[in-house]
Chain A
Amino acid sequence: MRKAVTGLRAWLVQRVSAVYMLLVIVFFLLHFVIDPPHSYPAWHAWMMNPSVSVISGVFFAALLAHAWVGLRDVIMDYIHPVAVRVCAFALLGVGLAATGIWIMQILWMEHGSVI
């Protein structure tokens, strides 16, 4: 079971998150080309739209998962001494978790300000 988590599943997470992020980036770019918001409040309102909020929320979750697999691979490739590797994994985990909390805080606060 543990094997599946770290082998095939990690690879799938990386591929699926990449495709999702690509689609979202295209969607955002198209939106800004076809129907660009004219002011900050207009852009803010669009971002606060529930479906756009869900799309961007999942986007950041995908970004963190993608970064985890990619950086985990870099560490597994180049860092071989066990102690250093454990430190690198811990650092990476803390860094990604902090980034995740920060993103959630921003999204959450913006939603709070609208209500």
Chain B
Amino acid sequence: MHFSIFRYNPEQDEKPYMQDFHVDLESTDRMLLDVILRIKAQDDSLTIRKSCREGVCGSDAININGRNGLACITPVRELKEPVELRPLPSFPVIRDLVVDMTQFFKQYHSIKPYLINNEPAPEKERLQSPQDRDKLDGLYECILCACCTSQCPSSWWNPDKFVGPAGLLQAYRFISDSRDRATQERLDDLNDPYRLFRCRTIMNCTEVCPKGLVPSRAIEKIRLMMVKHSL
């Protein structure tokens, strides 16, 4: 199987280039990550991030044939050849397929991704009804792999000001949590021409999310809540 992989080592290379690799698949090779590791065995200078290798940690998000995804849960045999692998679009490249995610996490932290509740803590825990708990489904599963934000044109043009789909999905996760008491503050913080309203409903985020989540719906729900709260 043929692969064309983005290579860039800022200490040696003047500019990035694509390097071709040929790999004979073995019957045990199922996912793209298996084959990337086989390539790394051929050429150990190839740099990639990975950890859990089963779609839970979100470390190995890369651009596969133009589409962001997790290498560890992408069936390699279904890919069109030559398989083109690039780092996540618009993120600064550290080396080969590894990108700098500082900005991404800065945006994530800006939405205060933790429960805010200053009421005295109960003896055991803050309880939640099963119905309220259900509201977090489709939100809490986000693994922050950045596939969505890196594929979002609004994030490409204003990565420093637009929170991005991943951050906004997380914002909605805390807005809709019955135990959180800072709903109004969270909505006020996002009511800004840049932080939320750069979203143009392009929906690349929803298209590429490897966990099948729908950031665009979360964004729409934040907007509707803002409308309700401002009435």
Q: Which of A4, A73, A77, A78 contacts B191 (CB 8 A)?
A: A4
Alpha-carbon separation in the docked complex, A4 to B192 (Å): 7
Interface centre among B188, B191, B196, B197 (most CB of A within 10 A): B197
Number of residues from B at the complex interface, CB < 8 A: 16
Known interface pairs A73-B200, A76-B193; A12-B227 also in contact (CB < 8 Å): yes
A8 within 8 A of B: yes
Q: Which of A7, A8, A11, A78 contacts B157 (CB 8 A)?
A: A78
Known interface pairs A77-B154, A78-B157; A11-B230 also in contact (CB < 8 Å): no
Q: Which of A6, A11, A77 contacts B158 (CB 8 A)?
A: A77
Alpha-carbon separation in the docked complex, A67 to B158 (Å): 21
Q: Are B158 and A7 in contact (CB under 8 A)?
A: no
Q: Closest CB of chain A to B164's CB: distance in Å? A: 14
Complex interface: chain A residues within 8 A of B194 (CB): 76
Complex interface: chain B residues within 8 A of A78 (CB): 157
Complex interface: chain B residues within 8 A of A4 (CB): 191, 230
B223 within 8 A of A: yes
Known interface pairs A4-B230, A8-B230, A11-B223; A77-B157 also in contact (CB < 8 Å): yes
Known interface pairs A3-B192, A76-B193, A77-B158; A8-B223 also in contact (CB < 8 Å): yes
Complex interface: chain B residues within 8 A of A8 (CB): 191, 197, 223, 226-227, 230
Q: Are B198 and A7 in contact (CB under 8 A)?
A: no
Q: Are A11 and B197 in contact (CB under 8 A)?
A: yes
Interface of B is mostly: loop
Alpha-carbon separation in the docked complex, A3 to B158 (Å): 18
Alpha-carbon separation in the docked complex, A8 to B194 (Å): 11
Complex interface: chain B residues within 8 A of A76 (CB): 158, 193-194, 198
Alpha-carbon separation in the docked complex, A11 to B220 (Å): 12
Complex interface: chain A residues within 8 A of B193 (CB): 3, 6-7, 10, 76
Complex interface: chain B residues within 8 A of A73 (CB): 198, 200
Per-position contact with B for A65-86: 1 when CB-CB < 8 Å, else 0? 0000000010011100000000
Complex interface: chain A residues within 8 A of B158 (CB): 76-77
Q: Which residue of A lies closest to B223 (CB)?
A: A11
Alpha-carbon separation in the docked complex, A10 to B191 (Å): 11
